[in-house]
Amino acid sequence: MAAIDTNGPVKIEPAMRTLKLSGHVGFDSLPDQLVNKSVQNGFVFNILCIGETGLGKSTLMDSLFNTNFESTPSPHNLPTVKLKAHTYELQESNVRLKLTICDTVGYGDQVNKEDSFKAVVDYIDAQFEAYLQEELKIKRSLPSYHDSRLHVCLYFICPTGHGLKSIDLVCMKKLDTKVNIIPIIAKADTISKTELQKFKSKIIQELQANGVEIYQFPVDDDSVSDVNGAMNTHIPFAVVGSTDFVKIGNKTVRARQYPWGTVQVENESHCDFVKLREMLIRTNMEDMRDKTHARHYELYRRRRLAQMGFSDVDADNKPVSFQQTFEQKRSAHLLELQQKADEVRQMFVQRVKEKEAELKEAEKELHAKFDKLKKEHTEEKKRLEELRKKIEDDTIEFNRRKAQSAQSTHTLTLGKSKKK
């Protein structure tokens, strides 16, 4: 049943009754079905490691997943920051994990670090965009789609003991609405125990002062709220990584050896590596995947759709459907096209008119030129005619005079001969 009010149709939920089952039905197996399906499909997890060159990113990844990803060290002289992603298939018991590790290359190596975050932001957005485009397809293949959206960003902080650098703050601020950020203090074995506590509080204080929102381990699930709540107070984790193993007692452990002693990666009194692994992989991996989809991707999708002109409400804040918006946009687009066609037609007519006027003007000029020439020609002809006539008259006169003079000469000659 639906009632109409001024805000449009409102759904009235049917009253719900709770019933008792008389025997076993079987839908209590739903969680198992879900687990089986997920295990069958395998899992995807994508990690973004941001940190200066040589800060121990690859070593930490090797330590976290207890393997060797065979990375190569990056050069220090790149003109820009780049991102490099590698995907690996891992298996533990019967659970398959498709893990992508994305590393920054050349981060913090440029003199001007103002735009260092840009490559990272673009990369994260490109993964969201690819997912959005797949989602918007008519024929979607999301189950087989390789989701490359980044689920977590491990931000490696330099163990300076002095607080964050501006590149750290700027970058984390730009990313905090796009990815779950876990700041970690890299190479924590290079900083003393008392300095470390001060360093940690300084970092947290600077993050808060700059309004940077880092990922908080969720405390809404009773089974993990205590441990997550406690771990939230340890952020940023101070970690140590190593690819070397040392025999301690009868156990071989991952460690870094120094002339004065040994730092054990997995020893909680030496560093926070175990805490990080526990939180990142063993307790909250699913929450990060979930938050990436439900929070960060959702925000990106909403912004992109708004950019494309789609919204859930119209200008008067009344709900509109996707179809209505689409039809509105379609008619607006058609109208715009029509207007453009009219404009082009008018422009064409105008141009033709202008050209016609230009041609007429040229024709007029030509006529005037022709008339002038004709007039000049007539005058010239007349002048020449007159000249010719004058010459003729002169010739006649000349001939007449010539004849006359010849006659008078003859008469004179005759007179002389008579005298003789």
Ligand X SMILES: Nc1nc2c(ncn2[C@@H]2O[C@H](COP(=O)(O)OP(=O)(O)OP(=O)(O)O)[C@@H](O)[C@H]2O)c(=O)[nH]1
Nearer to ligand X, 129 or 278 (CB): 278
Residue 125 vs residues 147, 150, 256, 295, 307: alpha-carbon distances, Å: 13, 10, 37, 14, 14
Closest separation between CB of residue 86 and ligand X, Å?
Answer: 12
- DSSP β-ladder status, 251-258 and 261-264: antiparallel
The contact mask relative to Mg ion for 11-50 (x = CB under 5 A, - = no) is: ----------------------------------------
Q: What are phi and psi of 236, to 5 degrees?
A: -75, 135
The full 3-state SS of 209-248, as one line of letters, equals: HCCCCCCCCCCCCHHHHHHHHHHHCCCCEECCCCCCEEEE
Least distance from ligand X to the Cβ atom of residue 238, Å: 10
Token readout for 232 is 């939230």
Q: Binding to Mg ion (CB under 5 A): which residues in 317-346?
A: none
| Span 59-98, contacts to Mg ion by CB under 5 A | 71
Of 109, 147, 189, 287, which one interacts with ligand X (CB under 6 A)? Answer: 189
Q: Is 73 in the site for ligand X (CB under 6 A)?
A: yes
The per-type count for the chain, helices as H runs and strands as E runs, is 10, 11
User: Which residues, other chains included, contact 176 with Cβ-Cβ below 8 Å and sequence gap of 6+?
Assistant: 212, 213, 214
Q: Which does 55 bind (CB under 5 to 8 A by kind): ligand X, Mg ion, none?
A: ligand X
Give 53 or 127: the residue with its C-beta nearer to ligand X: 53
Q: What is the dihedral of CA 376, 378, 383, 386, to 10 degrees?
A: 180
Q: Please identify which residue in 48, 64, 74, 108 interacts with ligand X, judged by CB under 6 A.
A: 74
- Taking CB under 5 A as the binding criterion, the range among 6-14, 58-66, 132-140, 162-170 that sits at the site for Mg ion is 58-66
Find the binder of Mg ion among 47, 53, 55, 58 (CB under 5 A): 58
Report the residue number, 228 or 264, with the smaller CB distance to ligand X: 264
Q: Which does 187 bind (CB under 5 to 8 A by kind): Mg ion, ligand X, none?
A: ligand X
Our finding on whether 53 is near ligand X (CB under 6 A) is yes
Task: Choose the stretch contacting Mg ion; rule: CB under 5 A; options: 56-64, 211-219, 233-241, 362-370.
Answer: 56-64
Subset of residues 254 to 293 that bind ligand X, contact rule: CB under 6 A: 256
Furthest C-alpha separation in the chain: 188
Dist CA 123 CA 100 (whole Å)? 14
From Mg ion, ligand X, none, which one binds at residue 189 (CB under 5 to 8 Å depending on kind)? ligand X
Classify 370 as helix, strand or coil: helix
Nearer to ligand X, 104 or 292 (CB): 104
CA–CA gap between residue 161 and residue 189 (Å, rounded): 12
Q: What b/e string do you get for 255-273 counting C-beta neighbours within 10 Å, with b at 16 or more? A: bbeeeeeebbbbbeebbbb
Which position among 241, 255, 272, 325 is part of the footprint of ligand X (CB under 6 A)? 241
183 touching ligand X, by CB under 6 A:
no
Comparing CB distances to Mg ion, the nearer of 71 and 210 is 71
Residues that bind ligand X (CB under 6 A): 51, 53-59, 73-74, 103, 187, 189-190, 240-241, 256
